[in-house]
Chain A
Amino acid sequence: MDQSSAQEFIQHLINGISLGSIYALIALGYTMVYGILQLINFAHSEVYMVGAFAAYYTGKGLGLDQHPGFGALFALLLAAVVVCSILGVTIERLAYRPLRKAPKLNILITAIGVSLLLQYSGQIIFGADPKLFPEVIKDVTVFQLGGVEVRSLDITILVVGTLVMIGLHFLVHATKIGTAMRAVSSNTMVARLMGINVDQVISFTFVIGSSLAGIASVLVGLKYPKIDPLMGMLFGIKAFVAAVLGGIGSLPGAMLGGVILGLSEEMVVGYLSSTYRDALAFGILIVILLFRPSGLLGSQTREKV
């Protein structure tokens, strides 16, 4: 490898990991809900979409693109997290909880219904044309390392993504509610015998998963600033593939699957052709389902939540 191709590779590496950490954030929401309810929450991608719009309107309303910086970023993240949490919990309450004892297929179809409902409501409420996400972080080259440009946006995404995942790890492993989440995921009936209020734990899981989607939506808005009500479809499916790749139900799996998917997409685009970008995720899905349906880190003793 000569120097310029090594630089190019490292550039792709940085882009890939930053895209991957966004996939990971969304994948975590799929995997947490699956771990606790054995439900693929198809509406999760629309929660993510609504998060982007919550941040968009907050940014516009407060004129935050005139005052870029971490304060503005924080405001957008907060708006997306609050709106997504409320939406996620509401969906669970209204659409899934009444079906708690129904066959799994009924809940799955309901989830698809909620997803479509939000897509079409989004088009009515927000309008179908793309909107330009407020640029609260100026994407400038922060430093050059041996010819590789390290840009502020990628640093922001990596720092936010890493902090959030460390926080999640702490939450799940070092708090009482986090341990209760793992207990419910492991055996709901026995969790009830411990006096755990399972409905409350499920709500809490939706709050956390939806918050992560909200955070991801802001990071995506910064990186790919055109947002529209159908933005959740493709991105959501890819994040879902990342969750399956890592092993659905496994938190480290979702993180790993996200990063692998982001990296592979970036490499495919960089070295083959961008035409294959979207096909790649589905290719991975098919291969995983054929050869290792439990995913990379999924197994009998996996850490489900």
Chain B
Amino acid sequence: MTAKPTAARENILKVSDLAVSYGGIQALKSVSFEVKTGEIVSLIGANGAGKTTTLRAVSSLVPYTGTVEFKSKSGEVLNLATVPQHRIVKFGLAHSPEGRGVFPNLTVLENLQMGAFSRTDKEEIAQDLELCFASFPRLKERVKQKAGTLSGGEQQMLAIARALMAKPSLLLLDEPSLGLAPLIVAQIFEIIKKINSEGMTVLLVEQNARMALKISDRAYVVETGKISFSGRGKDLLGDPRIIDSYLGGH
């Protein structure tokens, strides 16, 4: 990763003491972390650790205790618990969910339009659509096709492109590599790197720890609803605790 001066940057997202329960089961006990402008930050951890729940709480899809502070596009720091859920995107936070979540019976174009739902700047949306097609030519070829007919990799690209259509300042990506062939996974990670190099801040959730750590500035390890430790991406790649538990022991 090219050296990016992270020290001087400001937090775009600051999560403190986040706790979430589903019914009686506590999925998150206490999760705190931060993301600085321009970074790629990863949350890694085993299945069921609470990564998806963390992202859902940040997007106000589940009730939580603790605080989530987000620096909006206009520079104002918002306590997201006080913002109506449907306005969060407008403030600059887009979230591509686990399992891609494309709308299968909407066309590729309609999916992208829904990504831009919170925007009203018609001309800019049209321009961004062109930019999106330039980055994802496969989507352009399939623009009138129902999203449900796309391959898994194409659906993942659509999910990312759709999130970008919101013109966010922070992009949450939940397991973009899930269920994809290694070659496609590599492509997806290239795309994430490219988006980031063009200025997008990314909060990435991954079970594919190796790939995630390689492109991340920093990473947090989530274990049973808590952050157990964190560090710089390349440092963690060589960290024995990570190697043993998340990188297959070598």
Contact = CB atoms under 8 A, between A and B. Distances in A.
Nearest to B113: A179
A190 B101 contact: yes
A196 B86 contact: yes
A187 B159 CA distance: 13
Interface stretch (A110-118, A266-274, A296-304): A296-304
B152 to A, nearest CB: 16
A304 B105 contact: yes
A186 B103 CA distance: 6
Contacts of A28: none
Interface string B60-84: 0100000000000000000000001
B179 interface: no
Interface in B95-130: 95-97, 101, 103-106, 110, 113-115, 117-118
B166 interface: yes
Given A179-B113, A180-B117, A301-B146, A193 B106 contact: no
B59 interface: yes
Nearest to B101: A190
A195 B106 contact: no
Given A179-B106, A186-B103, A186-B105, A193 B59 contact: yes
B85 interface: yes
Contact of A186 (B84, B86, B106): B106
Most B CB contacts (10 A, CB to CB) among A195, A196, A301 go to: A195
B117 A189 contact: no
Given A182-B105, A186-B105, A189-B97, A198 B86 contact: yes
Interface string B34-56: 00000000000000000000000
B90 interface: yes
A192 interface: yes
Given A195-B90, A197-B86, A176 B117 contact: yes
A242 to B, nearest CB: 22
Contacts of B117: 176, 180, 194-196
B54 to A, nearest CB: 15
A36 B18 CA distance: 31
Interface string A173-212: 0001001101100110111111111100000000000000
Contact of A194 (B61, B105, B118, B146): B118
Contacts of A180: 114, 117
A192 B86 contact: yes
B105 A302 contact: yes
B77 to A, nearest CB: 20
Interface string A113-142: 000000000000000000000000000000
Nearest to B162: A194
29 contacts: A179-B110, A180-B114, A182-B103, A182-B106, A183-B106, A183-B110, A183-B114, A186-B105, A187-B101, A187-B103, A189-B101, A192-B61, A193-B59, A193-B61, A193-B94, A193-B95, A193-B97, A193-B101, A194-B89, A194-B117, A194-B118, A194-B162, A195-B87, A195-B89, A195-B117, A195-B118, A196-B86, A301-B104, A302-B105
Given A182-B106, A187-B101, A189-B97, 7 more contacts: A179-B110, A180-B114, A180-B117, A192-B59, A194-B118, A195-B86, A197-B86
